[in-house]
Amino acid sequence: MMKALLKEFEIGMPKTLVGVNASSQIGALSRELGAKKAIIVSDPGIISAGLINVAKASLEKEGIACDIFDNCPQSAPLSSIKECVKLIQNTQCDVVIGIGGGSVMDLAKMAVSVAAHEGDISILYDPKKIIKSGVPTIFAPTTSGTGSEVSWGAVFTDDTDENDKRKKAVKSDYLFAHTAVLDPMLTLNLPPAITADTGMDVLAHAIEGYTSVKANIVADMFAEKAIRLVAENLRLAYAKGSQNIEARYNMMIAASLAITVLRSSASYIVHSFSYPVGMMGHLGHGAACALTLPYVMEFNLIGNPEKFASVAELMGESVEGLTIMEKAARSVGAVKKLMADIRLPLRLPEVGIGEKDIPEIVDYVFKFHSYQIEANPRELSREDVENILKSAL
């Protein structure tokens, strides 16, 4: 495996404001952009919880008019994107502000981009057609998971096609936000189950990017910090996050660092599995990643033992006196212990997936996610993929 120091890689991250109550600066940030009309993209749950109120008040303080778009279901359905595009076009807004989880921010990104291309929805199926930015965007996440606020990608589902319900990824530098706002106050009352789900998405991003064949010196730096932050803070945020602003703050940082890892490195088979496993098991994305993460790690240990040994240490495992492979194996145990503590399923049958479902999952992975297999630290045959899934039964 090529040493990280020798690799060519890219890095990219938008302007990012971090701090307790940072969302109170959204109005000032919009004014700096010369905005006179804003659209806040969110969802009904976020709005009813009052999480857009601080941002809305800050816009009003700056004299910026504001419309609300709240039709943001999970997985950013195409019909909702089109609806948001019409609002952007009709209001001639100067800034779009996404406040919510990954689906909300992804929907806002794609709607802005489609509006910038005269409503041409085909750009989402062929991102090479994305040739310009739309109106500036400001994203404030209300979860600590996807890292969409600082990423160049988005995911949508085509709910207009009855024959194809899979998630589709769009990646373009034109999807980067103008500014990301990380305010842990927006995650303070996040329910434990969502904290667990989104937190494991962060860990999967970091571990995959860290151990991928595309890992590099910058990805390693961000991944190591993200892994340590998750190990030290996710349990606290899950147990009593409403009383632990520091844990919430640290998880927000970890989420942004971890997705930045994937900008210059890559995810692999864990994320390939997450889509069919999530659909079959009715799981959130992070829980779906977590469900196969330890079993993929166990298979991959021999492909990058030094990095997996480092994962064990970063997660607080005692490794003194152990061989490199023994240290590496401790990383698998560390992930399983964390999952057990935050009450996530550890085996496929717990979510209704059995051996009879394995061929369908494998077919899906090889049909739609072969590009992620290439980044795996160990070669993968169809039989290998089947055996990893069987180990999770």
Same structural domain, 249 and 367: yes
Q: What is the pLDDT of residues 117-163, one digit of tens each?
A: 999 999 999 999 999 999 999 999 999 999 999 999 999 998 887 76
Q: Which pLDDT does position 7 carry in this prediction? A: 66
Look up residue 307 and give its two tokens: 């990095």
* Domain coverage including residue 142: 15-187
Task: Please state, in angstroms and rounded to a whole number, the distance separating the CA atoms of residues 62 and 33.
Answer: 12
Give me the pLDDT at residue 3, please: 55
222 shares a domain with 146: no
Residues 247 and 147 in one domain: no
170 and 207 belong to one structural domain = no
To which residue do tokens 């207009």 refer?
160
Residues 6+ apart with CB under 8 A from 334: 231, 311, 312, 315, 316, 317
If asked whether residues 179 and 285 sit together in one domain, one would say no
pLDDT at 1: 47
- Closest to 389 in 3D by CA, of 284, 308, 299: 299
The three-state secondary structure class of 320 is: coil
C-alpha distances (whole Å) from 346 to each of 63, 64, 294 are 51, 48, 9
CATH, residue 128: 3.40.50.1970
170 with 202, same domain? no
Closest CA to 223 of 263, 266, 261: 261
Low-confidence ranges of the chain (pLDDT < 70): 1-7, 163-165
Domain boundary residue among 143, 159, 187?
187
Check whether residue 199 and residue 122 sit in a common domain: no
Which residue reads 């009904």 in tokens?
44
Within this chain, do residues 265 and 181 fall inside the same structural domain, yes or no? Answer: no
Ordered DSSP codes for 287-308? HHHHHHHHHHHHHHGGGSHHHH
> For the chain, what is the domain count?
2
In 3D space, the residue among 220, 197, 199, 201 whose CA is nearest the CA of residue 210 turns out to be 220
In a domain, 8, yes or no: no
Please indicate, yes or no, whether residues 296 and 194 belong to a single structural domain of this protein. Answer: yes
- End position of a domain, from candidates 170, 187, 204: 187
Residue linked to tokens 């930015």: 133
- The separation between CA 170 and the C-alpha centre of its own chain, rounded to angstroms, equals 13
Q: Among 135, 153, 187, which residue terminates a domain?
A: 187
Determine the pLDDT at residue 159.
86
Q: What is the pLDDT of residues 288-321, one digit of tens each?
A: 999 999 999 999 999 999 999 999 999 999 999 9
Structure confidence at residue 160 (pLDDT): 80
